[in-house]
């Protein structure tokens, strides 16, 4: 639980005091620590000062570094570290002081503290025996001035809903494939949006067949867990206005099919629906916050497994758009499901812009590592919109080049397209394959194979699903803050 309320150490088990290097000397009680160099306010420094009176209480001084290097991201990391420490000290009530300065206004403080503490405390442990009683921590954001109270409460509400969307995406991504497969994912989606402004429609295999989604079916039809197409519609604007289309790759498991993956690369492939999880999480935040835009999301969920009737390398398959595709590798399955999902969202849902989000290529990890989501686009302006929002959310994107020479690599000699473009530029050719189906609409392809999953728990990122890029997708449809909400850019 998170509240805005002024507290002192008397009122809580632990009080988090974020301090910039320049501010350390102002805190009388820790001045000696500066002299002894035990705490200087440097980034990632944490000093726990216990007071052992009648009850044990802690002041957690957390360093923010120098003001000139200070950003929302460094602030969030510091807060997450401190809150996790408070948890390990068994604190049940925690106060967090604001750090208002020329780079961070009160609203941004509230937003960052909400994200950092709630996401920092997240862990996926529902399948473990609970050794100790789980009691939720109560966190108080302390120091909001009277005149900023109303705005702070608005920001808190909006941030909590966005964080819930991120956590939803993390949970869905972390669930193993024996729990989340197309049918159970569809059931979950129906349940999640039951009492919200987001309308859900689920199409089964027969209906998918009627739409002619042959590429999607080629990937998913041989599994005992049959494919499902999920459509989520949110209307925040008057009829006749534009609709943004979100498409999420929804492979609830990717073995690679007959082009089988080695065990080590296969074992986290329950997270191959990270794109689907992100668009579902974003729709949740959009609906809860009653965004003033129209958004439709589509997830083509299926499992890529080996069965007697699975598709095979060398097969030539069809697609909803009518293009034929030569299969070069059954492990390049994501682009096949996306091709039909994109065609569906354009033709049947009549969206005006498309963003597809997919754990599409191992190549994006080679190119950009785990910090940057790779982007392929046909529209510079749309990309700039994305990066403007991303500067505020802290999620990072990087555009790859996409000239027509790359698109040529997806041409087949026996069909209209082939599903592998060769060894080179794997992320670009995969993206451009999807691009063959977006017609002339403004389009962004986000390859999150490197950013949707984390092997380590660090700052406010937990091990497993990260929930990237829920915050940025939400940010694209949210109403920008009226004040200079975040001043560090
Ligand atoms: N789901 C994988 C991509 C992936 C790799 C996601 C690592 C997360 C982490 C995708 O379906 C895949 O297997 N892509 C192939 C494409 C290749 C066969 C052209 C790849 O990247 O190796
Ligand atoms: Zn694959
Ligand atoms: Zn895949």
* Segment 310-351, tens digit of pLDDT: 999 999 999 999 999 999 999 999 999 999 999 999 999 999
| pTM given for the model | 0.97
Out of 261, 293, 439, 463, which one is annotated catalytic? Answer: 261
Band of residue 487 on the pLDDT scale cut at 50, 70, 90: very low
Mean pLDDT of 129-139: 82
**pLDDT above 90 for 485:** no
State residue 279's pLDDT score.
Answer: 98
pLDDT in tens, 191-212: 999 999 999 999 999 999 999 9
Band of residue 27 on the pLDDT scale cut at 50, 70, 90: confident
pLDDT in tens, 421-476: 999 999 999 999 999 999 999 999 999 999 999 999 999 999 999 999 999 999 99
Q: How far, CA to CA in Å, does 475 sit from each of 166, 392, 394, 453?
A: 13, 8, 11, 21
- For residues 280 and 189, the answer to whether their CB atoms sit within 8 Å is yes
Q: What's the CA angle centered on 163, arms 161 and 164, to 5 degrees?
A: 60
Say what the alpha-carbon torsion angle 377, 378, 383, 384 is, to the nearest 10 degrees: 150
Q: Whose CA is nearest to atom 16 of ligand 1?
A: 332
- Mutational test site, ligand 1, from 331, 365, 466, max ligand atoms within 8 Å of CB: 331
- Mutational test site, ligand 1, from 361, 418, 424, max ligand atoms within 8 Å of CB: 361
Contacts of 132 (CB under 8 A, 6+ apart): none
- Mutational test site, ligand 1, from 360, 368, 420, max ligand atoms within 8 Å of CB: 360
* Residue 426 alpha carbon to ligand 2 centre in Å: 13
Is 261 assigned a catalytic role? yes
Is 206 assigned a catalytic role? no
Mean pLDDT of 159-166: 98
State residue 489's pLDDT score.
Answer: 37
Mean pLDDT of 44-48: 94
pLDDT: is 239 or 415 the higher one? 415
Mean pLDDT of 18-38: 89
**pLDDT above 80 for 187:** yes
Residues whose beta carbon lies within 6 Å of some atom of ligand 1: 254, 272, 329, 331-334, 359-363, 420, 426, 449
**pLDDT above 90 for 234:** yes
**pLDDT above 70 for 484:** no
Buried b (16+ CB within 10 A) or exposed e, 126-143: eeeeeeeeeeebbbbbbb
Out of 233, 335, 353, 418, which one is annotated catalytic? Answer: 335
Q: Is cis: bond before 469, omega within 30 of 0?
A: yes
- What is the position in ligand 1's atom list of the atom closest to the CA of 304? 11
**pLDDT above 80 for 238:** no
% of the chain with per-residue pLDDT over 70: 98
Buried b (16+ CB within 10 A) or exposed e, 305-324: beeeebbebebebbbbbebb
* Residue 274 alpha carbon to ligand 1 centre in Å: 13
State residue 133's pLDDT score.
Answer: 67
State residue 44's pLDDT score.
Answer: 87
Count how many Cα atoms sit within 13 Å of the Cα of residue 112 in the half-sphere of its side chain: 29
* Residue 161 alpha carbon to ligand 2 centre in Å: 32
């Amino acid at each position: 639980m998170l509240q805005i309320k002024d507290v002192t150490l008397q009122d809580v088990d632990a009080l988090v005091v974020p301090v910039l290097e320049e501010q350390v000397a102002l805190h009388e009680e820790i001045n000696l620590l500066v002299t002894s160099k035990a705490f200087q306010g440097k980034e990632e420094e944490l000093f726990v000062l216990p007071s052992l009176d009648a009850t044990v209480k802690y002041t957690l001084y957390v360093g923010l570094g120098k003001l000139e290097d200070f950003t929302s991201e460094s602030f969030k990391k510091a807060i997450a570290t401190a809150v996790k420490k408070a948890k390990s000290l068994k604190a049940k009530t925690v106060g967090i002081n604001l750090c208002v300065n020329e780079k961070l206004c009160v609203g941004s403080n509230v937003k960052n503290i909400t994200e950092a503490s709630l996401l920092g405390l997240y862990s996926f442990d529902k399948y473990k025996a609970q050794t100790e009683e789980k009691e939720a921590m109560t966190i108080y954001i302390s120091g909001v001035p009277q005149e900023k109270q109303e705005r702070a409460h608005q920001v808190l509400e909006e941030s909590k809903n966005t964080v819930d969307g991120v956590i939803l995406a993390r949970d869905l991504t972390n669930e193993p494939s024996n729990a989340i497969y197309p049918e159970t994912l569809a059931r979950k989606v129906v349940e999640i949006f039951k009492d919200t402004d987001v309308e859900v429609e689920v199409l089964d295999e027969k209906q998918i067949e009627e739409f002619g989604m042959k590429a999607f079916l080629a990937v998913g039809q041989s599994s005992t867990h049959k494919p499902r197409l999920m459509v989520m519609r949110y209307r925040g604007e008057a009829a006749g206005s534009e609709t943004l289309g979100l498409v999420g790759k929804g492979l609830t498991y990717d073995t690679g099919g007959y082009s089988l993956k080695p065990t080590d690369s296969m074992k986290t492939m329950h997270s191959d629906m990270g794109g689907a999880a992100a668009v579902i999480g974003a729709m949740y935040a959009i609906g809860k916050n009653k965004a003033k835009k129209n958004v439709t999301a589509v997830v083509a969920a299926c499992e890529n497994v080996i069965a007697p009737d699975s598709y095979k390398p060398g097969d030539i398959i069809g697609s909803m758009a009518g293009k034929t595709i030569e299969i070069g590798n059954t492990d390049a399955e994501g682009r096949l499901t996306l091709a039909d999902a994109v065609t569906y969202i354009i033709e049947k849902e009549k969206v005006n812009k498309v963003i597809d989000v997919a754990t599409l290529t191992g190549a994006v990890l080679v190119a950009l590592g785990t910090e940057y989501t790779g982007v392929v686009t046909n529209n510079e302006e749309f990309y700039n919109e994305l990066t403007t929002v991303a500067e505020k959310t802290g999620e990072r994107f990087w555009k790859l080049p996409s000239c027509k020479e790359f698109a040529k690599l997806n041409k087949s000699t026996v069909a209209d397209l082939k599903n592998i473009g060769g060894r080179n530029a794997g992320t670009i050719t995969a993206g451009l394959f999807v691009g063959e189906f977006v017609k002339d609409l403004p389009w962004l392809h986000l390859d999150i194979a490197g950013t949707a999953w984390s092997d380590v728990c660090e700052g406010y990122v937990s091990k497993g699903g990260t929930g990237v890029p829920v915050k940025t997708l939400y940010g694209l449809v949210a109403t920008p803050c009226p004040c200079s909400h975040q001043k560090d850019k």
